[in-house]
A and B are shown apart, each in its own frame.
Chain A
Amino acid sequence: MSAVNQGTEDLPLLQVSNTTKLYGGRIGCKDVSFDLYPGEVLAIVGESGSGKTTLLNCLATRLTPTSGSVSYRNRMDQMRNLYEMSEAERRMLMRTDWGFVHQHPADGLRMTVSAGANVGERLMAVGARNYGNIRDTATDWLGRVEIAEDRIDDDPRAFSGGMRQRLQIARNLVTSPRLIFMDEPTGGLDVSVQARLLDLLRGLVADLGLSVIIVTHDLAVARLLSHRILVMRHGHVIESGLTDQVLDDPQQSYTQLLVSSILQP
């Protein structure tokens, strides 16, 4: 088991309180509050347009919330409000302590540089200046996401959708982050590739003791990966709780609708 930060294991890693994002008069997300604990996987589900991605972007500092606060416990064990940090600190956080896995790998990868450089970029960004070490780490990470070693010098453009997504994950995990944001990581992949990716993610999350906030409209993905779930509709969180509990015994009529809408093969 992961024994990192044993003393702070019971303190939240991320504290979200009353986070609201308005687009003019329209609601992106409203009054969202929750705590995320180390090693916890939280799924945000809901139909498209429900505010999932807006919320995720507010948490990951990609969008500035209109009101409310988001605090993060850094490695020095200080709780810091993200929006009171300087931009330099936030960006530092983004490329060291955090990861962001985009739905479309092209948004998260540099498509014109090799797979090895994609994985190595974060290392170089934090000061790694030894080519041999960078390459070894990149090779190791490609192996961990099941990309053959001899593909290290290929462009992501030469990769399949599933491989690109795995490369994106490797690129994010190389600096041993503590918190990963994922926006529909399995969207657009066929089911067998999806299954392998989920398997991989589950393994990595458990091995590394990562905290994850995953946005998905796919309840099966949420059930497989997450411990806890938030159900969103029209920008509001309408139901939350343990994943199995919410999915097996949904209380809100909208959640019931969502659960019953899953196609049975």
Chain B
Amino acid sequence: MTQTAKTQDISSQHYNFAYLDEQTKRMIRRAILKGIAVPGYQVPFAAREMPMPYGWGTGGVQVTAAVIGKQDCLKMIDQGSDDTTNAVALRTFFVKTTGVETTTKTKEASIIQTRHRIPEEALTENQVLVYQVPIPEPLRFLEPRETETRKMHALEEYGLMHVKLYEDIAKYGHIATAYAYPVMVQDRYVMDPSPTPKFDNPKMDQMEALQLFGAGREKRIYAIPPHTKVVSLDFEDHPFEVNQFEEPCAICGAEGAYLDEVILDDHGKRMFVCSDSDFCEDRRAAGHVGHLGTNPLEAEGND
């Protein structure tokens, strides 16, 4: 804590609060408000250069910077985890430029910036979930012209989105899109939920928390207000299904959570563990144990 306070003391002389200047934050807040007013609509905004490369969450960082206040508690996750490179780097960035409190606990956070996951624990109306989005346009790979895709959104011409799903079924026998699975927001706009696994799509529907999406390179912001209808696209005879896992988490035994595959040795040994590290830790703290025990590297059968 003292270190945080000290760092902030030094940095506050160099940076405006949350790095961006106030005018920029106002501009971004306007885009966010418009996004909330028109759920699922991609609002163009004048994304700034950030002190990190495109693809590292410049969009999410700008959205967070525009909504964060001194009293906020920030949680930063990357692929569900609090301690991967992207999460650590961006958390440090905000600690340095705002001095806000940070946490790894989903419950305690007021702002959660995420890359590729929605926390397992249900979010509440006091929380904001900020997504980092690489390509906001769900129709992009089917229709390369931006002029055309904007027109398609304006006129609700979404047949093309189903062409992609059709192709999946024709090629693989089922809808093989496993992430960035397109959704229809409030019966109006087709939206890319960012590269979250489709496992997380049902969580977006009627979520209590405000969901904000920032795409820095593509200069787009969009939003889903709390309690908004979000439906995953599908066919009548090939309905939407979430990813299924054959075994529970290897170290906390959780079922119905999204799992990551972890390679354990050079002989093909592997385990599946919760991708949401906070969720997994909570369960272990509560006494849940998976079939590989508390330390999978020392589990029986592992050399």
Binding site for B on A (CB under 8 A): 87-88, 91, 95, 110, 113-114, 116-117, 120-126, 129-132, 134-135, 152-153
- A residues in contact with B155, CB < 8 Å: 87-88, 91
Shortest Cβ distance from residue A259 to the other chain B in the assembled complex, whole angstroms: 42
Decide if B157 touches A153 in the complex (CB within 8 Å).
no
Shortest Cβ distance from residue B231 to the other chain A in the assembled complex, whole angstroms: 12
Further contacts, 5 of them, CB under 8 A, given A117-B167, A125-B158, A152-B170: A114-B167, A116-B170, A120-B166, A124-B166, A129-B236
Judge whether B162 is part of the interface by a CB distance below 8 angstroms: yes
Judge whether B142 is part of the interface by a CB distance below 8 angstroms: yes
Q: With A87-B155, A91-B155, A130-B236 as known contacts, state yes or no: A124 contacts B163, CB within 8 Å.
A: yes
Interface of A is mostly: helix
Decide if B163 touches A110 in the complex (CB within 8 Å).
yes
Decide if A116 touches B235 in the complex (CB within 8 Å).
no
Ordered nearest first, which 10 A-B pairs have the shortest CB separation? A125-B159, A124-B162, A124-B159, A131-B235, A130-B236, A88-B155, A117-B166, A117-B163, A153-B170, A132-B237
Judge whether B160 is part of the interface by a CB distance below 8 angstroms: yes
Judge whether B26 is part of the interface by a CB distance below 8 angstroms: no
Decide if A116 touches B171 in the complex (CB within 8 Å).
no
- A residues in contact with B150, CB < 8 Å: none
Judge whether B238 is part of the interface by a CB distance below 8 angstroms: yes
Shortest Cβ distance from residue A61 to the other chain B in the assembled complex, whole angstroms: 14
| Bound complex: CA A87 to CA B158 (Å) | 16
- B residues in contact with A123, CB < 8 Å: 159
Q: With A88-B155, A124-B162 as known contacts, state yes or no: A130 contacts B235, CB within 8 Å.
A: yes
| Bound complex: CA A164 to CA B75 (Å) | 53
Judge whether B169 is part of the interface by a CB distance below 8 angstroms: yes
Decide if A121 touches B167 in the complex (CB within 8 Å).
no
Interface string of B134-177 (1 = CB under 8 A from A): 00000000100000000100010111101110110111000000
Shortest Cβ distance from residue A22 to the other chain B in the assembled complex, whole angstroms: 24
Decide if A129 touches B235 in the complex (CB within 8 Å).
yes
Decide if A110 touches B142 in the complex (CB within 8 Å).
yes
Closest to B143 in A: A110
Scan residues 214-260 of chain B and give those whose CB is less than 8 A from a CB of chain A: 234-238
- A residues in contact with B167, CB < 8 Å: 113-114, 117
Q: With A91-B155, A125-B157, A132-B237 as known contacts, state yes or no: A153 contacts B171, CB within 8 Å.
A: yes
